[in-house]
Amino acid sequence: MSGQYLAAFIMFFITIGVTSMFLLPAIKVKQKCEIVKFYWVGFWMFLAGLVAFAGSQSVLVILDHDVELFGGAILGGITAAYIVFVMFAWARLTLHGASSFLGKNNPAKLAAK
């Protein structure tokens, strides 16, 4: 029984360490554009959350808790939320780029020059 708690303790601290490593790019890498910065941080936060979730699930499995049903439901929700986040980001960045391009190449502005 003592070995089980030791293994859970080790897994817990490995989870914290790996999760912290996934947060470093979000903190250390600076982005100039606020929109890109938002999605850059969101991407790394998602990965850190996924690692933290998987690690906590592993700790509970080591401690002989049944987490398969609940863990599967949460993982499905996290995956669906990330897909919505990516699709929203794609649409927003595409519209931002198109409006920026059209703003620079506006025929009325070009005729005025």
Distance CA 12, CA 21 (A): 14
Question: What is the residue range of 104's domain?
Answer: 2-112
Give Cβ neighbours of residue 53 (< 8 Å, ≥ 6 apart). 71, 74, 75, 78
Report the C-alpha gap between 55 and 15 in whole angstroms. 5
Number of domains in the chain: 1
**Sequence-ordered list of residues with C-beta below 8 angstroms from that of 74, at least 6 positions apart, any chain:** 53
**Which residues lie below 8 Å from residue 7, measured CB to CB, with a gap of 6+?**
62
What does pTM read for this prediction?
0.71
How many CA atoms, within 13 angstroms, populate the side-chain half-sphere of residue 45?
10
In 10 A of CB 34, how many CB atoms? 7
What DSSP string runs through 56-80?
HHHHHHHTT---HHHHHHHHHHHHH
pLDDT means over runs of 10, the chain (113 residues): 87 94 89 83 89 90 88 86 88 84 64 53
Tell me what pLDDT residue 106 has: 60
Q: Supply the pLDDT for residue 18.
A: 93
**Pair 44, 20: CB distance under 8 Å:** no
